[in-house]
Structure 1
C-alpha cells in the first residue's frame, strides 16, 4: 500500500467504528492513495470504511462528515478503481446508508451514497461512438449495409452490452446468460462491433462483413456464437424473445433476462403485436422490448414517425409497462433498463426516440440513406466521430457475469415411456395418437412441451395439457407468434418443442418457419386436418399445400404417418431429430396397420402388401394409403395385383426402396395423395426416379379448389378414392374394364 491518509477523522466515538483494508490471500494491494478529509463525527455503531481486494489508484472523500446512522459504511470490493471522489456527501442520516463499489456492475469503479451504482456514462457514450465508427468502416469495406440504422441504436447497444446485460463473453450462449435478439437484423454490423469491443473479433475481421468466406453475414445467424436466432425478415424477433422469456420464467425459473431490439418500421407487422399480447398475458417481466423509433423506414418515413405518445398508448393498451427515453442519452437508457428490472408481472417496452444516422454530419435524420454505405462521406464522418470520443485510451469493458443458476437439461435420446398400445385393425384417428405420444414423451422427459393456437382439442395437444398442464403453452389464434415462440423456447436446447395447429394455418407462418431453418431450430411442427378428407368444413380448413411447403425447408424431415402406431413413432423420432420436423396427421379414424413393436426410421419406407404377381407399385400415405389397400382387394378379385408402399417420410424419401420395388412391378408407379399435385408425394417420387430408365409414374392428387362435402364423396369427386385407384390401375396395366351389364 503506497499511501493511506486520513485528515481530521477524529471523534470516532462509537463501538465498532473502523477503517478496514482487507486484502484476501492471493491479492496484492497496492493502494496508491487513500485520502479522507474532514470525515469526522462518525458516531454510530458499526460505521466503517472498507476496501477489499484492491488495487485502488485513488480514493478521495471530502467533507463526508455526519454519517450518523447505523451500519453506514463505504465499501470497495474487488477493484481495480481508477478514481473515486465524493464531495460534500454529508448528512447521510437514514439506516443502512452505505457506499459500495461492485466492479462487476460497472466499468469505472465509481459509486455514490445510498448503495446506488454510479455509472461511467462518458465511457458508455464513447463506446457508442466507437460502435458507430466500426459500423461505418464495416459497411464501407463491404460496399453495402446499413450504417445509419446502426447509428440510431449505438447508445442502446453500448448500455445493453456494457452495463445492463449479464453474460459470459467466452460462452455467450450458455444457459445462464442474458439473451439478446436483434430483431432489426439489418443493423448486424453494430452487433458485430460489440463483439469487436469484446475482443472476440478484430477490427480487420469486421472488414470482412458480407464477404462470401466470412461468417459475418449481412444479417445475423446462429453460425455466430453470440446469436440465438436468425433475424432480418422483420417482425419476427420479438416472438422468439417471448419464447425465451417464457422458458426462463416458467421452466428454468432463472434470473436471466431477455432483451429484444425492434425497429419502428417493423412494428407495423402484426406479429409484433401478437408477441406483445402473448408476453403481457403470461406476465413476462423478464422481457424487455426496445423500440428504436428513428422515424425513417426504408423508402419513406414510418407511419407514426416520432409520435411517442401513440406508441406509448398502444403498448400500454397491450398491458406493458412503458418507458419513453431519449435513445441517445445514455443516462436515460441506463435508468430505463434498471427500472425495467424492478417492474413485476408485466414486460417492459422501452420507447427510444432516436435518429437515423445520429452524429453523422449532413446525414442525420435525412431520407434516402437507408441501406447505403456512406461512400465519399465515410472518412469525414469517422473523423468527426473520433473527435467526440473523450477517452484518450480505450477503457477496458468489465462485463457482469451471470448470477444464479439454471437446471441441467438433457435432451438426448428421448423415448416413449411405454410402447404404443393399439390393436391391429382398430380404427384410431392419427391425430389422436399425436396426443398420446406427447404424454409418453413428457413422462420420460419433462422438457418436452407442446404449443398450440387454440386448436388443442382438434390436434389432441390437449392430451399433454391434461396430463402435464405446465408442459403446454396456449398461444391462441396467432400462428406467426405461435411459431416464433416455439423457436425461442427451443433455443439453447432448453426444451423439445412441438407446435400444432391445422395444416392449412401453418401457411400463414411460412416465413417464420423458413427463418427457423436458417436459425438451425429443432422445432417440430404437427399439422392436422390435412386434405379434403376433413369433409364438410370446406377448403378454407383443408391443408393441401403443407407437404410442398415443408419439403422446401432445408434439412427438414417430413413425416406422414398412416396409422396410430407410426404416428407415435414419428413423434418420438422427431423429438430426437435435428432441424425442422413436420408431422402430417389426418382427421379420419383409420385402421391400425402396424404392431406396437414395429420399428420405424426416418427415410425408410414400409411395404404394406406385396406378392410375386404385382404389376403396379402404389404409393400413398395417411388416408390415401387406406384407400389404396381397399382398392387392392377389389383389384385382386379382378386378377390384378398391386404392391403397396407406405413412405413414412416424404423427406427424406426412401428412393432406393421405391426404385427397387418399382422395377419388380414392371416399372409402373401410381402415387395417390390428399394434397395438391404441386410439390406433393407424386412430384417427390418423380424427382427420385427422374434419372431411372424404364420407370413411369402416374399421379393422383387433388386438382382445383375443393368444396364442402362428405369425406367419402370428396375423395371420390377429386379422384383419390379407392374407386379412382382401381380405375387408374386398370388403365396402367391395360386391363379393360368388364362390360357394364344392361339394366332392365
Structure 2
C-alpha cells in the first residue's frame, strides 16, 4: 500500500476499527471502544512513521511502539495484522487459551517489547528505551508510546515527563488519546487538551494539540515530533467508540464488546485485508559496545575483616562492570548509602541517576533490559515497594533485571521503621519466577552479585547497613538455590536457620548454647528463593526442629520459605519462627535486635524454651 494516499490511510483506519471490533466480538470481552478512538492515530503511524524490519523484529535499528493503554490491545493486534505479522486466522484467537494475542500485550508477540496493562507504566518504560537508544545502543531508533488520558492521573507518568525532558530524549513521542471517558465516566479534564498541554509543557516537552481523527493533522503532528529536537506529546482529541454511532462518546461502554458487533462492522465498511509495507529502518551501524567482556574478579576480603554487605555489593558491582560491558547501575539518589557510588565512579557512562523517582527508575530498567542490557537497580529495601507494581508487571513480561534492597530490617538502628525494609522478602518471593538472595558477609555478597547477572527473571539481593565480620574465604563458591551449614554434629538438638545479619547472631547463640553443653546446627540460608530443600529436610530429619530467625516480618519471609520446603512431601519438623513482630522505634542496632528477640541471647532463649518443653514431655 502506498503510504501517503489519504483515501488508503482512511481505509486502513477503518480496517483497524473493524478488526478491533472483531477481536472483542469473538472473545466476548475486551476494550473495542478504547481501540476505536485511537485507530486513526495508529493508521498514520504504521503507514508513514514507524520503522520496522518486519522480517526481523530483533533488528536493533527498529523503532519501538508501546501501548501504555494496554487495554486497547485489539487495536495493537489489528495493527500487527495490517503489518503482516499476525494472520487473520490468528487475529480471531484473541484472548483464547494459548494465543499470543492476550487480553493485554505481552512480549509473546515480537512487536511487543514489554508487558503493559497496568496504566501509567508505558511512558516511563519508554523513557528507558529512549535512554537506551541515546546513551547505550547509540542508535537513532524512535520510541512511540500510545497513552490514554485516564492514565495521566498516575504519578509515574509525571515522573516520566520530567525525566525525559531532563535527559533531552528527543526521539521519544507520547501519543495521548484524549477520548474524554475513563472506565466509570469522564476524566478530570475531559476534552480540554490545553489543560494537559500546559502541564506537560511545564515539564519541558514540546506539545501539539490536534483533532485525533483528522489524518492530515496527525501526519503533521508526527512530522513535527521528528523535527523539534525535544520529547513531544501529541495530544489528540478523539471520540471513544469513534465510527460506531451506537457507542460513540457513550458512558458505560468501557471494557465491553459492542452490543451489535455485526452491525458495527457493516457500519464501518466491512472486513478488509489492507496490508502495509512498513518502512524499514536505514542500516547505520551495529549497537554500541563499551568494551570486550573479561573475567569477573571481585575484591577479596579476609576472614575476620569487618565489612557491610552493602559496601561489598557496591565494590562487587564495580568489578562486575569491568567484566561485563552490558551491566548497568541505576540509582534513586541514594548511591552513597546503597554503595552504588562505587559503580558510578568507575562506569559513569553506564550509571543512571533517577533522583527520588523509584517508579521511573524501575520502569527504565524494564525498558533497558528489553534491549539486552543487564540493569542493577538499587535503593533502600523499604523504598523498592513504591515500584512494586512495575516489578510485578516486569515479571509478566519475562523481564530480566537485578534489584538490590539495602538498609534491610531493624539492624539499621536509630532511623526508625520508615527506613526499614521489613516486608521486602515477602514481596519479592511473591513475584513470579523470582530469585531472592540475602548474603551475610562480603565474600558471599560478591559471589552472589556476579551470579545474579546470569539469572533469568527478577533477582533480588538484600543487603545490610552495618559492618559485620567476614566468615567465608574469598574463593568459596555460592550458587543460587544453595545454603551453607556452618555448625553441625551428630548430637545437634535443633537447627537454627538464618540469613543476613541473623547468621552472625545464630552463630553467637550456638556458642552460648555450646557453653551450656547443648549442640545446635546452624544453616546460612542465603538463597531464600529458590530454597535448598535437601539441606533443610536433612536437618529436620536429623535434629527434629528448625528454628528460623529473620530480621523481617513473620509473614512471607525466611521462615515461611523454610516451611514451604516441607509442603511437597515428608513429615514437617517442629517449627519455631523468630521475626520482627512488633513495630520498632528508634534504637541502636544491638537494641533493635535484642528488643525483637532475634539477637543471640533471644535465639538461645528460644532454643532453651523448646528443649525445656521437650524435656518436660519426656521426649528429649
Choose the corresponding residue for 2:25, options 124, 140, 165: 140
SS in 1 for 2:405: strand
Do structure 1's residue 208 and structure 2's residue 93 form an aligned pair?
yes
Do structure 1's residue 355 and structure 2's residue 239 form an aligned pair?
yes
Matches within 5 A, 1:478-557: 478-493=357-372, 495-557=373-435
1:407 to 1:649, Cα distance in 2 relative to 1, 3 A: farther
Tell me the distance in 2 between the aligned counterparts of 1:165 and 1:120: 16
CA-CA distance at 1:717 after TM superposition: 0.6
Do structure 1's residue 687 and structure 2's residue 533 form an aligned pair?
no
- Give 1 or 2 for the bigger CA radius of gyration: 1
Choose the corresponding residue for 2:52, options 126, 144, 167: 167
Aligned residue number for residue 381 of structure 1: 264
Tell me the distance in 2 between the aligned counterparts of 1:275 and 1:556: 26
Do structure 1's residue 648 and structure 2's residue 542 form an aligned pair?
no
CA-CA distance at 1:395 after TM superposition: 5.5
Tell me the distance in 2 between the aligned counterparts of 1:635 and 1:168: 68
SS in 2 for 1:727: helix
Tell me the distance in 2 between the aligned counterparts of 1:158 and 1:736: 75
Tell me the distance in 2 between the aligned counterparts of 1:122 and 1:131: 14
1:405 to 1:656, Cα distance in 2 relative to 1, 3 A: farther
The 8 Å contact of residues 426 and 591 in structure 1, kept in 2 or not, is answered as: yes
Aligned residue number for residue 314 of structure 1: 199
Matches within 5 A, 1:536-615: 536-615=414-493
Relative contact order, higher structure (CA 8 A, sep 6+): 2
Tell me the distance in 1 between the aligned counterparts of 2:356 and 2:552: 24
1:467 to 1:621, Cα distance in 2 relative to 1, 3 A: same
Tell me the distance in 1 between the aligned counterparts of 2:249 and 2:161: 28
Matches within 5 A, 1:108-123: 108=2, 119-123=4-8
Tell me the distance in 1 between the aligned counterparts of 2:477 and 2:273: 62
Choose the corresponding residue for 1:249, options 124, 134, 145: 134
Aligned residue number for residue 162 of structure 2: 277
CA-CA distance at 1:568 after TM superposition: 1.1
CA-CA distance at 1:728 after TM superposition: 0.9
* Structure 1 residue ranges, 4+ long, deviating more than 4 angstroms after superposition: 393-396, 408-411, 413-416
CA-CA distance at 1:454 after TM superposition: 0.7
Gapped regions of structure 2 (runs ≥ 5): 616-620
Aligned residue number for residue 253 of structure 2: 369
Q: For each residue in 1:686-730, what CA deviation from the matched residue of structure 2 results, as whole angstroms up to 9, or x when unmatched?
A: 121244326111000000211111110011111101110110111
Aligned residue number for residue 671 of structure 1: 548
Aligned residue number for residue 42 of structure 2: 157
Do structure 1's residue 424 and structure 2's residue 303 form an aligned pair?
yes
Tell me the distance in 2 between the aligned counterparts of 1:349 and 1:394: 31
Tell me the distance in 1 between the aligned counterparts of 2:397 and 2:293: 23
Q: For each residue in 1:572-623, what CA deviation from the matched residue of structure 2 results, as whole angstroms up to 9, or x when unmatched?
A: 1111111000000011110111111111110011112222322211111111
Aligned residue number for residue 618 of structure 2: none
CA-CA distance at 1:168 after TM superposition: 1.0
1:410 to 1:566, Cα distance in 2 relative to 1, 3 A: farther
The 8 Å contact of residues 414 and 441 in structure 1, kept in 2 or not, is answered as: no
The 8 Å contact of residues 483 and 512 in structure 1, kept in 2 or not, is answered as: yes
Tell me the distance in 1 between the aligned counterparts of 2:613 and 2:155: 57
Tell me the distance in 2 between the aligned counterparts of 1:196 and 1:314: 36
Tell me the distance in 2 between the aligned counterparts of 1:606 and 1:279: 45
1:557 to 1:157, Cα distance in 2 relative to 1, 3 A: same
Tell me the distance in 2 between the aligned counterparts of 1:410 and 1:464: 18
CA-CA distance at 1:473 after TM superposition: 0.4
Tell me the distance in 2 between the aligned counterparts of 1:475 and 1:689: 42
The 8 Å contact of residues 174 and 492 in structure 1, kept in 2 or not, is answered as: no
CA-CA distance at 1:733 after TM superposition: 2.3
Tell me the distance in 1 between the aligned counterparts of 2:58 and 2:173: 18
Choose the corresponding residue for 1:129, options 14, 17, 21: 14
The 8 Å contact of residues 552 and 580 in structure 2, kept in 1 or not, is answered as: yes
Tell me the distance in 2 between the aligned counterparts of 1:736 and 1:134: 70
SS in 1 for 2:447: helix
The 8 Å contact of residues 486 and 499 in structure 1, kept in 2 or not, is answered as: yes
Aligned residue number for residue 33 of structure 1: none
Choose the corresponding residue for 1:195, options 77, 80, 97: 80
Aligned residue number for residue 293 of structure 1: 178
Aligned residue number for residue 469 of structure 1: 348
Matches within 5 A, 1:25-174: 107-108=1-2, 119-174=4-59
Gapped regions of structure 1 (runs ≥ 5): 1-106, 110-118, 738-744
Tell me the distance in 2 between the aligned counterparts of 1:214 and 1:183: 21
Greater alpha carbon shift after TM alignment, 608-617 vs 142-151: 608-617
Do structure 1's residue 657 and structure 2's residue 541 form an aligned pair?
no
Q: For each residue in 1:632-669, what CA deviation from the matched residue of structure 2 results, as whole angstroms up to 9, or x when unmatched?
A: 1111111111111111210000011111122222x111
SS in 2 for 1:492: coil
CA-CA distance at 1:492 after TM superposition: 2.9
Tell me the distance in 1 between the aligned counterparts of 2:285 and 2:515: 64
Tell me the distance in 2 between the aligned counterparts of 1:335 and 1:568: 53
Tell me the distance in 2 between the aligned counterparts of 1:620 and 1:628: 7
Tell me the distance in 1 between the aligned counterparts of 2:122 and 2:87: 27
Aligned residue number for residue 587 of structure 2: 709
* TM-score where L is the length of structure 1: 0.80
* TM-score where L is the length of structure 2: 0.96
The 8 Å contact of residues 83 and 277 in structure 2, kept in 1 or not, is answered as: no
1:694 to 1:521, Cα distance in 2 relative to 1, 3 A: closer
Aligned residue number for residue 153 of structure 2: 268
The 8 Å contact of residues 82 and 273 in structure 2, kept in 1 or not, is answered as: no
The 8 Å contact of residues 556 and 580 in structure 1, kept in 2 or not, is answered as: yes
CA-CA distance at 1:318 after TM superposition: 0.6
RMSD over equivalenced CA pairs, Å? 1.9
The 8 Å contact of residues 559 and 651 in structure 1, kept in 2 or not, is answered as: yes
The 8 Å contact of residues 617 and 669 in structure 1, kept in 2 or not, is answered as: yes
Tell me the distance in 1 between the aligned counterparts of 2:294 and 2:606: 41
CA-CA distance at 1:410 after TM superposition: 8.7
Aligned residue number for residue 103 of structure 1: none
Tell me the distance in 2 between the aligned counterparts of 1:647 and 1:718: 20
Q: For each residue in 1:5-58, what CA deviation from the matched residue of structure 2 results, as whole angstroms up to 9, or x when unmatched?
A: xxxxxxxxxxxxxxxxxxxxxxxxxxxxxxxxxxxxxxxxxxxxxxxxxxxxxx
CA-CA distance at 1:423 after TM superposition: 0.7
Tell me the distance in 2 between the aligned counterparts of 1:408 and 1:241: 18
